[in-house]
Structure 1
Amino acid sequence: MSEAFYLPESLAVADAAVAAVLHMESGRVLPAREVIGHDYDKAIQLRMSLQEGISSDAPLYCCPLCVVPVRLVSQKEKGRFFFRHDLEDGRCPAKTKGSLDERQISALKYDGVRESVAHQQMKRIIAESLRNDPDFSQVEIEPIWKGREKNSRRRPDVRAVWKGVLPVAFEVQLSTTFLRVIAERRQFYLREGGLLLWVFKAFDASESRLTQDDIFYNNNRNAFVVSDETLSASRENKTLMLDCLWTEPVIEMAARAWVEKSQRVGFSELTIERERQRVYFFDAEGAEAKVETGLAVLVDDDLRQAFHSFWLSSEHDPDIWAELRGKLREKGIKVPYSSGHPDGPYHLLNTLYSAREGRPVGWGHAQLINVAHHVFDRYKSHLWAMRLMLMAHDQGELIRSQDRTSNWRNNKVKTYLGAWKKGSAAYKPDRQWDGLVSFLFPEIAAQLVSSPAPI
């Protein structure tokens, strides 16, 4: 194997009873093999640090299940190491963890993390911040929250009541928490009429951590962080202040992308959706819907421009038509296999593009006025759409300048306006291609579907 791809093997014993350890300073639960590492010298130094911590009553690492300090033991003949409880009295579930389910293991780890320095500091910051906000009352650290169901209870890190009506549970997230535990907590507080708010010590939206994602994406892409700085801000503003981090959708290179944003916010600025157990500052879900609409508009514009270019070209390439036809079909718009099909929109589109361009398109006429006369004589069902296009593109003056005999203005216009007023069937608009016309010419879409009338 190439040396560049060689990954040193951990010096940890495989299948050790203590497979993970709790870092008491940060509150992180780390795999034993990661902490022990692959460097023998550093492993020996770690042994000393662990023992010194135990001796000074400030353990570096503990068992995450029972929070008993651990030391590093060596299998000298094999050059391997494993963590062992400083006090082995048989009570730790690590000895029999095979009989524990995911829920029990996670609950033990979660309780263990609560003993870390970082976790204690976080709870203190949250509680002190809440006590500076007059909207919150009954602030408690690790109270017992009894549920209505028998033997149903939780012990949130911090609990407070907002504006006298809404109990809020603040849970600190420092390390791995199983999805089941997150879901069960959400369901408990929802059932009990409360609100769950997860709080982080640090959060990086670009860092892929499943537990972090389980909370972040189920909270409308908003995460909240507390620190000594937010505590100072809470004291100064007399309200609970949090650092909110979120991702915001934007359109880049005709595609959706997410950018990270952050802002220090007050709790009163947040949107609360208790039924969905969501608390957020930025409505990422709503913004995403707007971006998706914007992307759809961009895609539509591209297709629309491609169709315009095709129809205005001197030759209608059948391969290009087939591609356009397929894309229109994806939007629920059906057109014939051939662009010039006699039962298709060929003559209607020639009429509308002529009105749009101010010159004959697809017709063997010299001027736009000739197209107008021809449509009146042969395609009366196209008059409504043509009139809308002429008005949308300010072609009235052009038509008048070309109508030298006034036959169009004084005779034919009056005739079709009168026919519309009477509801004459001969002048009734052809609705077969309204969907296509509305897509290609959005400037007339709103009026196209209405009944013809003088405008």
Structure 2
Amino acid sequence: MQRTVEIAEFELPRGRITVGELMAMEPAGWEHLRSEINLRRTADPDRPLARCHYCQSSIYIRAQATRDGNVPMFVHFQGADPECPWFAGKNVVPDDARAAQYRGHQECALHRWMCDMIARFLEMDPRLTKLSVDRYLKPQIEERGRYPDVYAELDGLGKFAFEVQLSKPFAFEIAARHRHYQAEGVSLIWVFRALDGELPQGFRDVITMQRGNAFLFDDAAFNASVAANGLRLSAYVEADSSGWRKPRFVRLDDLPRASRSDVAGWRVVD
């Protein structure tokens, strides 16, 4: 187990949380805190949601992998005071971590196939007015745009960005994308291929952002899309303690958008 910040001072009214209290939380509780911290970091880095009790440097929640699953720990962000007794050394720069993960290859054949198939089924919708795959999306409000895996505009329904995720996404990137697309009025949908075994924490972060929902373009969704002549996704809703509820196929029309003030803008209607 790596060294951890022992006491975090959260913005009031939450207040002080010890690492013991953090580790005693249910995953849904600390994953929510982790998302809130990362969202604040992307929106206003000079006003952190949580600080180290000792040195007042901003901190985040790292998921430490153990034999018993992920364990949450408080860790300083890059640039913290190295004299702090709870300082654990320099963090990996996100770009370096991303390069190591992909080994210089940002996309694999399965990823490309999923993007192309999602785009092809979207093309079958007569409401479609704009569609692109892996192209720069010029921003309307933000200073810089993004390269969504698939981008679509449907008349009367809205703007959609699909992010196909096969490998572990990075927490700060997840938060940044949610904040960006929410500001641009674009509905972000993360799409997985499978939910096998113990999910990486990055997948858990995405599901937390989507309020307990996971959307898959698996073989079942592909076959349903073929039969319906239009895009269908397998929707899994997380149960409180028993894993996943029975999946069902959903269309974009089945996913009502929450208020624009809510970054996690999707929920499956029960």
User: Which bin holds the TM-score, normalised by the shorter protein?
Assistant: 0.5 to 0.7
**Does the 8 Å CA contact 2:160/2:187 hold for their aligned counterparts?**
yes
Q: Cα 1:121–1:271, aligned 2, differ >3 Å: closer, same or farther?
A: same
- The structure that has the greater radius of gyration is 1
> Match for residue 216 of structure 2?
225
Deviation of 1:185 after TM superposition, in Å, equals 0.6
Residue 118 of structure 1 pairs with residue 139 of structure 2? no
Per-residue Cα deviation, 1:153-206 (whole angstroms, up to 9, x for no partner): 1000000013356211100111122100001111111111111100001124x6
Match of 1:278 among 253, 256, 265: 265
Q: Secondary structure at the match of 1:279?
A: coil
Q: Cα 1:101–1:125, aligned 2, differ >3 Å: closer, same or farther?
A: same
Q: Secondary structure at the match of 1:261?
A: coil
Q: Cα 1:150–1:226, aligned 2, differ >3 Å: closer, same or farther?
A: closer
Residue 241 of structure 1 pairs with residue 232 of structure 2? yes
Q: Cα 1:282–1:108, aligned 2, differ >3 Å: closer, same or farther?
A: farther
Q: Cα 1:212–1:150, aligned 2, differ >3 Å: closer, same or farther?
A: closer
Match of 1:267 among 247, 252, 267: 252
Match of 1:127 among 119, 129, 132: 119
Q: Which amino acid in structure 1 is aligned with residue 237 of structure 2? A: W
Q: Which amino acid in structure 2 is aligned with residue 261 of structure 1? A: K
**Does the 8 Å CA contact 2:157/2:253 hold for their aligned counterparts?**
no
Residue 212 of structure 1 pairs with residue 212 of structure 2? no
Deviation of 1:223 after TM superposition, in Å, equals 0.6
- What is the root-mean-square deviation of aligned Cα atoms in Å? 2.9
Q: Cα 1:149–1:107, aligned 2, differ >3 Å: closer, same or farther?
A: farther
Per-residue Cα deviation, 1:329-352 (whole angstroms, up to 9, x for no partner): xxxxxxxxxxxxxxxxxxxxxxxx
Q: Cα 1:260–1:207, aligned 2, differ >3 Å: closer, same or farther?
A: farther
**Does the 8 Å CA contact 2:213/2:238 hold for their aligned counterparts?**
yes
Deviation of 1:220 after TM superposition, in Å, equals 1.6
Q: 2:99 & 2:188 partners in 1: Cα distance?
A: 17
Deviation of 1:106 after TM superposition, in Å, equals 3.0
Deviation of 1:147 after TM superposition, in Å, equals 1.7
Q: Which amino acid in structure 1 is aligned with residue 124 of structure 2? A: N
Higher strand share: 2
TM-score, structure 1 normalization = 0.36
More contact order relative to length (CA 8 Å, sep ≥ 6) = 2
**Does the 8 Å CA contact 1:143/1:156 hold for their aligned counterparts?**
yes
Which 4+ runs in 1 deviate beyond 6 A? Answer: none
Q: Secondary structure at the match of 2:148?
A: coil
Q: Cα 1:186–1:103, aligned 2, differ >3 Å: closer, same or farther?
A: farther
Residue identity over aligned pairs, in percent, reads 29
Alignment of 1:79-228 (within 5 A): 101-103=93-95, 105-106=97-98, 112=104, 114-148=106-140, 151-164=143-156, 166-204=158-196, 207-228=198-219
**Does the 8 Å CA contact 1:219/1:279 hold for their aligned counterparts?**
yes
Q: Secondary structure at the match of 2:181?
A: helix
Deviation of 1:233 after TM superposition, in Å, equals 2.2
Q: Secondary structure at the match of 1:278?
A: coil
**Does the 8 Å CA contact 1:189/1:195 hold for their aligned counterparts?**
yes
Deviation of 1:115 after TM superposition, in Å, equals 2.6
**Does the 8 Å CA contact 1:203/1:245 hold for their aligned counterparts?**
no
Q: 2:117 & 2:259 partners in 1: Cα distance?
A: 24
Q: Which amino acid in structure 2 is aligned with residue 219 of structure 1? A: Q
Q: Which amino acid in structure 2 is aligned with residue 273 of structure 1? A: A
Q: Cα 1:126–1:243, aligned 2, differ >3 Å: closer, same or farther?
A: same
> Match for residue 9 of structure 2?
none
Gapped runs of 5+ residues in structure 2?
Answer: 1-89
Alignment of 1:21-40 (within 5 A): none
> Match for residue 319 of structure 1?
none
Deviation of 1:149 after TM superposition, in Å, equals 5.3
Deviation of 1:213 after TM superposition, in Å, equals 0.3
TM-score, structure 2 normalization = 0.58
Higher helix share: 1
Per-residue Cα deviation, 1:218-247 (whole angstroms, up to 9, x for no partner): 212111111354234223323321111122
Q: 1:258 & 1:231 partners in 2: Cα distance?
A: 23
> Match for residue 16 of structure 2?
none
Q: 1:280 & 1:150 partners in 2: Cα distance?
A: 25
**Does the 8 Å CA contact 1:167/1:193 hold for their aligned counterparts?**
yes
Q: Which amino acid in structure 1 is aligned with residue 111 of structure 2? A: H
Deviation of 1:257 after TM superposition, in Å, equals 5.0
**Does the 8 Å CA contact 1:123/1:158 hold for their aligned counterparts?**
yes
